Amino acid sequence: MGDHITRPDNGFTPALRWEEPPEGPVLVLLDQTRLPQEEVELVCTDVQALVAAIRSLAVRGAPLLGLAGAYGIALAAARGYDVEEAADLLARARPTAVNLEYGVRRAVEAYRKAPAEQGAAAALAAARALHAEDAAASRAMVEHGERLLAELAPGGGYRLLTHCNTGALVSGGEGTALGVVQAVHRSGELRRLWVDETRPLLQGARLTAYEAARAGMPYTLLADSAAGSLFTAGEVDAVLVGADRIAADGSTANKVGTYPLAVLARYHHVPFIVVAPTTTVDLGTPDGASIEVEQRAGSEVTDFAPSPLGTQAYNPAFDVTPPELITAIVTENGVVSPVTAERLAAVCR
């Protein structure tokens, strides 16, 4: 899947970066499957290695997958591989996250439009432009999200619940939902961050807790099934999550376990907020039923808690939350609330 190198813990290691050593360009990824125990980087010299990293979740998170897709095309072009074949492999690596296909398409279009001798440079320029845009989108989402929280739950001292991982590990900037939490923390208004473990692969326990700890946030980890007791006790002021694909009607696919939180939030009259860039909105997918939900290996479930030999497991990577359960969708172009197809389309123009 590529070569691993271990870096000393001397500050935050970027989730993804492009390098050009003498032996040729490479895409360097922070291997998120190894966190939080160690910061190990994965060096991808070809598209096959990058596809393997995407499928294994060494690189993950909708915005970052978009960047990986774009840089993957640049890598293929720079190293003389078949760009069209690379585009097909990358776009199909994970079916639910729309950003991956978007990043691939954007870099491929730049490659096709450029003269043959400039195709690799054009693809790389497109990837770098997308990277900068994602960082800018992150900053804008954070600003919009912080203002929305102040409107929905005035008074500060927020107790926020999140699911999966949505910080700098999934973005060219500070992230989506966790980026908003980070801003609230910097302003001194974060009383408690509740972190769902996010089973079976524990992206909350491993990755969100990792980012929260490094930022000095007051956070508490809980099993996914314990969230209901927090709502019953009145300990949640808002739920903030990311998204991997948002359909035209506002239906939102996110890490499995998100939909139950939306149901709980609605019952307990707690705001449920999705934070995602407009690149995650797929206006070509009409509704939640049309979203292809990735099914992952059952072993991810059975290996987590040893089960009798031959046990079958149901392991969808995502679930879909209908728009009527979503208080607001925060994008870089503004806030969609109430969530309707018309309002969502307006922020995507």
Alpha-carbon distances, residue 73 vs 66, 85, 248 (angstroms): 11, 10, 27
For residue 255, give the 3-state DSSP assignment. strand
The candidate with the shortest Cα–Cα distance to 196, out of 289, 247, 262, is 262
Pairing type for strands 238-241 and 272-275 reads parallel
Which residue, chain included where needed, has tokens 């043959």? 116
Element holding 40 (H helix, E strand): strand 40-44
Taking the alpha carbons at both ends of the chain, their separation in whole angstroms is 38
Q: Which two tokens stand for residue 53?
A: 């990293």
Count, residues in the chain? 349
Alpha-carbon distances, residue 251 vs 190, 195, 295 (angstroms): 28, 23, 19
- The amino acid occupying position 198 is T
- Which residue of the set 237, 244, 249, 282 is catalytic? 244
User: Helix and strand tally (H, E) in the chain?
Assistant: 12, 15
The candidate with the shortest Cα–Cα distance to 242, out of 138, 338, 341, is 138
| 244 given a catalytic annotation | yes
DSSP label at residue 198: -
DSSP label at residue 183: H
Which residue, chain included where needed, has tokens 């895409």? 27
Active site members: 244
